[in-house]
Amino acid sequence: MMGKRKTQNRKSILREYVESFAIALVLALIVKCSVVEAYKIPSSSMEDTLLVGDFLLANKFIYGSKVPLIPAHLPALAEPKPGDIVIFKYPLNPKVNYIKRCVATEGQIVEIKNKVLYVDGKKVSDPANGKYTDPRVRDGNRDNYGPYRVPKGYIFMMGDNRDNSSDSRFWGPLDRSLVLGKAMIIHWSWKPDPNSPGFVWYNPISILEWTGYNIIHFPWRVRWNRVGDIIR
């Protein structure tokens, strides 16, 4: 009898662990898919608002996030509006995530004259930390665009690094259904280092070299002044 009780107790404890792990996994999946998700900035298109190596958290709930495991979305609490920094699926390759600033929504008229953005005929101020890297005014959509009315169900996106951004000027307005979330906060910022050695997972020496280099240079690679910044 005692042996059976011990076996039952072990099974009960094991089941509790399995159930706890399963619940934690489901909750983590719900949070990731529906509430908050982490992203890394891979390019310079949003400089100097966001820098290469910034790690940020996005609010997926606000725009109506996807419900895990079923083809449904939660109701949106708000719609993307001009000024919001939005994470979305790249229209030409939905497997890739992009991040840009919304500058206009459906029904609004976008026009760019010699690099200056106008929405509904009114000049729009440049983002506080945006920039231009090319003083020349070139032919084409980069520096002169429109006028163009944003269709229903779409928004118009632009990078803060106006001369170095692949955005709605080139691939058109963004379908609202591709929106994933709103950028909230920088939780980590890691300065790229071209001198950092690379590594391959099957080469222990390269892994040790990479680890040692980054431990030594850790204090200088972290952009401490950016950690915790609210994204605007």
Cβ contact 187:57 at 8 Å: yes
Q: Tell the residue number behind the tokens 């619940």, with chain if given.
A: 23
Residues 6+ apart with CB under 8 A from 14: none
Cα 1 versus chain centre, distance: 59
Let me know if 100 is a catalytic residue. Answer: yes
Of the residues 45, 65, 168, 189, only one is catalytic, namely 45
Cα–Cα distances (Å) from 111 to 81, 117, 120, 142, in that order, read 17, 6, 8, 11
Of the residues 100, 168, 182, 189, only one is catalytic, namely 100
Within 13 Å, how many C-alpha atoms sit on residue 113's CB side?
7
Rg (the chain; Cα; Å): 23
Let me know if 45 is a catalytic residue. Answer: yes
Cβ contact 171:145 at 8 Å: no
- Catalytic residue annotation: 45, 100
